[in-house]
């Protein structure tokens, strides 16, 4: 049945994706959410889409005036001036005048006026799309739930006979019967939320076409409402290629078994200040030498600091940016959902602007991106899978709390995402802190199991020979000789 239905756009591309193509023509949809979640704005996008397709559209409203609606839309570049409007709200004189109903129930008079106004407007205007904001206007003029259900059913049949597509809005009510009625009578339900995790959208029901499940990201930006569906990784159809990205430093390449395969995820983990970002950037610079373009997303420092630190150790990031082999994006804290960030990266990859993506660092990501940490980890996994399937190599820097020693491969139990894990750490030797580097994991090939001394100098990264004759390095306190109770040669 889905193949025989040609959906129409809701006016919001991301929502159409969740709706498996869009809305079904001639059906009634409920947009449900508390005040301030974006219900009216979604309705305006729906009508704007109709106007752009040379359709006739009608906005039936009762809580805001036509002037307020147009002004609010203009603030986010949504233009529906050419729409038809039917205002069912009371005039301002209602506040001062004394209305009395001596012989009949007030609801009978109001209901008759509402019904007559709506029917006349639809017959005269003959619209293709209608927004009723809110549908509760009909509820308030009915004497009871039975009459309300009859009114809605009658309204729906009237609209479907005319093959109209209708978007209604409603705020959650304490009246469970009312909530159940309006939801059951709607062909589709779009839930909007706004909380500590930012704005969210979920399609709870969509007859005929179905929907993509789950909660998705949503924001109100300069051009109105934007929806960011959860990223679904494509199935990998391309053959796995073992081309590698090398560091361009012989000792580091030897340690990592010849660099890292392209289309894999590499974690560079270690305590603060140990050199994770510089090591990742060195890999990007070496990739630029073979024509690979990189995109860096900074979560824990600004672009100026990143540029200065890289240039100070001889990594030519300014030259790379000028040549178009490096782009840098600074992510502002708590401004994006995980879905919006994923779509930001996806757009850059889809434009073929990045062969390598570096997320610096994952701790800043979980603090800067809106949402629960467990959910963010799942979203990060989905993003890395998507990038790998698109042929992109991923580098993630990860800060662990220990200053010396390694007690866990990654922070937040993220090691399952990684194909490769390189660690940097401090160790205490001869009364001073020194840095070491080693490999914990590489899925595709062998690597050195030794640990090497690591240093960042003004001439770049220097990696020494393997540290031999020492034990306890991963505990942060290396000692000469053999560990107790170990076999000795």
Q: In the prediction, which pLDDT does 312 show? A: 96
3-state secondary structure 187-227: CEEEEEEEECCEEEEEEEEECCCCCCCCCEEEEEECCEEEE
Confidence of residue 405 (pLDDT cuts 50, 70, 90): low
Task: Tell me the angle at which helices 106-125 and 145-161 cross, rounded to the nearest 10 degrees.
Answer: 10
Span 159-212, pLDDT tens digits: 778 889 999 999 887 666 666 777 888 899 999 999 877 899 999 999 999 999
Please check whether residue 266 lies inside any domain of the structure: yes
pLDDT at 94: 39
CA distance 232 to 237: 15
Worst-scoring range by mean pLDDT, 86-90, 96-100, 261-265, 388-392?
96-100
Residues 12 and 1: their CA atoms lie apart, in Å, by 24
Strand partners, 170: 32
Q: Does residue 112 form part of some domain? A: yes
Q: What is the pLDDT of residues 280-305, one digit of tens each?
A: 999 999 999 999 999 999 998 899 99
Top-ranked range on mean pLDDT: pick from 75-84, 176-185, 380-389, 400-409: 75-84
Q: Are residues 101 and 163 in the same domain?
A: yes
- Give residue-wise pLDDT tens across range 128-165: 999 999 887 666 555 566 676 677 777 777 877 888 99
* Alpha carbons 456 and 282: distance in angstroms, whole number: 11
Look at the alpha carbons of 408, 413, 414, 417 in this order and tell me if their dihedral is positive or negative.
positive
pLDDT of residue 106: 44
**Per-residue confidence (pLDDT) for residue 203, from 0 to 100:** 97
For strands 420-429 and 432-442, give the pairing: antiparallel
Q: How far, in whole angstroms, is CA 166 from its chain's centroid?
A: 28
Flag whether 234 is in a domain. no
Evaluate whether residue 235 is within a structural domain.
Answer: no
- pLDDT at position 101: 40
Q: End of a domain among 228, 254, 284?
A: 228
Same domain, 288 and 159: no
- Same domain for 341 and 197: no
Same domain, 100 and 126: yes
Residue 400 scores a pLDDT above 50: yes
The answer as to whether 356 is a domain residue is yes
Are 202 and 268 within one domain? no
Please report the pLDDT score of residue 117 as a whole number: 84
Would strands 460-466 and 393-399 be described as parallel, antiparallel, or unpaired?
unpaired
| pLDDT of 232 | 82
Question: What is the C-alpha separation between 39 and 421, in angstroms, rounded?
Answer: 45
Q: Which of 51-65, 168-182, 430-444 has the highest mean pLDDT?
A: 51-65
Alpha-carbon distance of 148 to 142, in angstroms, equals 6
Same domain, yes or no, for 255 and 218? Answer: no
Nearest partner of 253 among 277, 287, 296, judged by Cα: 287
Per-residue pLDDT of 458-469, as tens digits, reads 999 999 988 776
> What is the structure's pLDDT at 103?
38
pLDDT over 50 at 1, yes or no: no
* Per-residue model confidence (pLDDT) at position 148: 66
* Per-residue exposure over 341-355, b if at least 16 CB sit within 10 Å of its own CB, e if not: bbbbbbebbeeeebb
Residue with tokens 């809110």: 134
If asked whether residues 101 and 178 sit together in one domain, one would say: yes
Select from 201, 228, 255 the last residue of a domain.
Answer: 228
Average pLDDT, the chain: 85
- Domain co-membership, 223 together with 304: no
Tokens of 240: 């796995």
pLDDT tens profile 239-281: 555 689 999 999 999 999 999 999 999 999 998 999 999 999 9
- How many CA atoms within 13 Å lie on the side-chain side of 120? 9
What confidence tens digit (pLDDT) does each residue in 223-242 have? 999 999 998 876 655 555 56
For residues 387 and 304, membership in a common domain is answered with: yes
**What pLDDT band is residue 57 in, cutting at 50, 70 and 90?**
very high
For residue 111, the model assigns a pLDDT of: 53
Q: What is the total count of domains within the chain?
A: 2
Tokens representing 201 are 């959208």
Please report whether residue 488 resides in a domain: no
272 and 217 in one domain? no
Q: Which residues of 151-183 are buried (b: 16+ CB within 10 A; e: fewer)?
A: bbeebbeebeeeebbbbbbbeeeeeeebeebbe
Residue 239 placed within a domain: no
Look at residue 353 and tell me if it is in a domain: yes
State the Cα–Cα distance between residues 40 and 46, nearest whole angstrom.
Answer: 10
Say yes or no: 80 and 196 in one domain: yes
Tens of pLDDT, residue by residue over 333-369, are 778 888 999 999 999 999 999 999 999 988 778 776 7
Q: End of a domain among 228, 253, 280? A: 228
The pLDDT of residue 95: 39
- Lookup: tokens for 317: 């990031």
Question: Which CATH number does the domain housing residue 152 bear?
Answer: 3.40.50.300
CA distance 190 to 206: 9
- What pLDDT band is residue 315 in, cutting at 50, 70 and 90? very high
Asked if 21 and 48 sit in the same domain, the reply is yes
Give the structural domain span for 251.
Answer: 244-480
């Amino acid at each position: 049945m889905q193949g025989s239905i040609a959906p129409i756009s809701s006016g919001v591309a991301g929502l159409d994706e969740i709706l498996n193509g869009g809305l079904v023509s001639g059906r009634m949809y409920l947009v449900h959410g508390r005040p301030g979640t974006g219900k009216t704005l979604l309705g305006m996008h729906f009508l704007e889409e109709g106007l752009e397709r040379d359709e006739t559209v009608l906005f039936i409203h009762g809580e805001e005036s036509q002037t307020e609606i147009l002004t609010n839309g203009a603030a986010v570049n949504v233009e529906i001036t050419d729409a038809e409007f039917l205002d069912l709200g009371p005039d301002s004189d209602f506040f001062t005048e004394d209305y009395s109903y001596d012989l009949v129930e007030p609801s009978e008079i109001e209901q008759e006026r509402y019904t007559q106004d709506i029917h006349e407007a639809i017959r005269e205007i003959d619209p293709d799309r209608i927004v009723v904001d809110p549908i509760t206007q009909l509820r308030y003029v009915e004497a009871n739930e039975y009459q309300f259900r009859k009114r809605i059913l009658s309204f729906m049949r009237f609209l479907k006979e005319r093959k109209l597509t209708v978007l209604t809005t409603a705020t959650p009510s304490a009246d469970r019967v009312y909530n159940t009625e309006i939801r059951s009578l709607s062909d589709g339900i779009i839930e909007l939320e706004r909380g500590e995790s930012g704005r969210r959208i979920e399609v709870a029901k969509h007859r005929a076409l179905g929907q993509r499940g789950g909660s998705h990201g949503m924001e109100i930006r300069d051009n109105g409402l934007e929806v960011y569906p959860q990223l679904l990784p494509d199935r990998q159809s391309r053959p796995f290629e073992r081309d590698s990205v090398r560091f361009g430093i012989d000792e580091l390449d030897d340690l990592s078994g010849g660099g890292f395969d392209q289309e894999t995820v590499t974690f560079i983990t270690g305590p603060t200040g140990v050199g994770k970002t510089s090591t990742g950037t060195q890999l990007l610079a070496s990739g630029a030498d073979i024509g690979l373009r990189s995109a860096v997303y900074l979560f824990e420092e600004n672009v100026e600091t990143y540029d200065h630190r890289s240039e100070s150790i001889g990594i030519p990031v300014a030259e790379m940016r000028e040549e178009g082999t490096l782009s840098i994006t600074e992510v502002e804290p708590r401004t994006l959902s995980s879905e919006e960030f994923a779509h930001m990266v996806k757009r850059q990859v889809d434009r073929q602007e990045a062969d390598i993506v570096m997320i610096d660092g994952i701790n800043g990501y979980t603090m800067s991106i809106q949402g629960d940490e467990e959910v963010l980890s799942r979203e990060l996994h989905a993003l890395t899978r998507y990038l790998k399937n698109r042929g992109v190599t991923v580098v993630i820097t990860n800060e662990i709390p220990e200053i010396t020693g390694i007690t866990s491969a990654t922070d937040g139990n993220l090691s399952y995402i990684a194909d490769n894990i390189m660690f940097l750490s401090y160790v205490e030797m001869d009364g001073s802190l020194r840095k070491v580097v080693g490999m914990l994991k590489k899925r595709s090939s062998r690597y050195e199991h030794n640990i090497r001394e690591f240093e960042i100098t003004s001439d770049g990264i220097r990696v020494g020979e393997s540290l031999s004759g020492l034990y306890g390095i991963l505990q942060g306190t290396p000692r000469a000789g053999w560990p107790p109770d170990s076999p000795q040669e």
